[in-house]
Structure 1
């Protein structure tokens, strides 16, 4: 496999969450390195998270597993157990179908950089722990927890 030229991998800013849930994630910048390398079963994202930004809304997956490895900076990981500080060289893993929502917040003064690695499953459901948001595989669109669509 040839070397991936990270400078040529498009940057994706923010998220596709419906309002008002997108706001804390708006400054997040991701580059889909796995996709750029032709991977289809595993996602690998290089993420830059500026101060005050969130990695995502707190969530967990039924079929997908996630792993994060902090390359630079400092992040606060939030789960049902509370808060843990992650610094460069630290990592965390999130097994599938464990209803313990997670996300990270950059409360430091410098941009944090991390790798977000995870499996990809077309039949995955994503559950959001703290908000009225849900993502089913079919149709692959956000809804309220009662199943009604967002406008």
Structure 2
């Protein structure tokens, strides 16, 4: 059956960023709906972001595209251009290989809910704009920008 029962999709809280970079993301709850439905070319995540939490560290991808669509609440989108408020019904697109780091922060009093949709690419490099963090393709660990692995 193609229907994905979201109540049965496991929730994953936080991130796998090395300390201390995971702290602002520690309350984020994500459900991999696309993976649960057997999708392999792109991901669809249902994300709950409580007040004060970040969606991620500010980042951009070399080969993957992302799109977020807010279902409930409001989020502050932070990019190189500054900040924009996203409310239920708003979306934001992030094309591949555009060095404009982005993330969202919930500065409201209510939990925000959004869909995070993106391509999956084995050749992708993830660049982090504000911190000494880097993720190369085919590597299962984060490194410093000089290539030294985090341990």
TM-score, normalization by structure 1: 0.99
Query: How many Å separate the matches in 2 of 1:139 and 1:31?
Result: 23
Cα deviation digits, residues 12-49 of structure 1 (max 9, x gap) = 00000000000000000000000000000010000000
Query: How many Å separate the matches in 2 of 1:118 and 1:139?
Result: 19
The residue number in structure 2 matching 1:128 is 128
Cα deviation digits, residues 103-145 of structure 1 (max 9, x gap) = 0000000000000000000110000000000000132310000
SS class of match (2:71): strand
Cα deviation digits, residues 71-125 of structure 1 (max 9, x gap) = 0000000000000000000000000000000000000000000000000001100
Could you tell me how far 1:2 is from its partner in structure 2?
2.3
TM-score, normalization by structure 2: 0.99
Query: How many Å separate the matches in 2 of 1:86 and 1:37?
Result: 27
5+ long unaligned stretches in structure 1 = none
What value does the CA root-mean-square deviation take over the aligned residues? 0.6
Paired residues for 1:1-150 under 5 Å: 1-150=1-150
Query: How many Å separate the matches in 2 of 1:40 and 1:129?
Result: 28
Q: Which has the higher mean CA deviation after the structures are superposed, 1-10 or 102-111?
A: 1-10
Query: How many Å separate the matches in 1 of 2:102 and 2:111?
Result: 20
5+ long unaligned stretches in structure 2 = none
Query: How many Å separate the matches in 1 of 2:85 and 2:139?
Result: 36
Could you tell me how far 1:64 is from its partner in structure 2?
0.1
SS class of match (1:114): strand
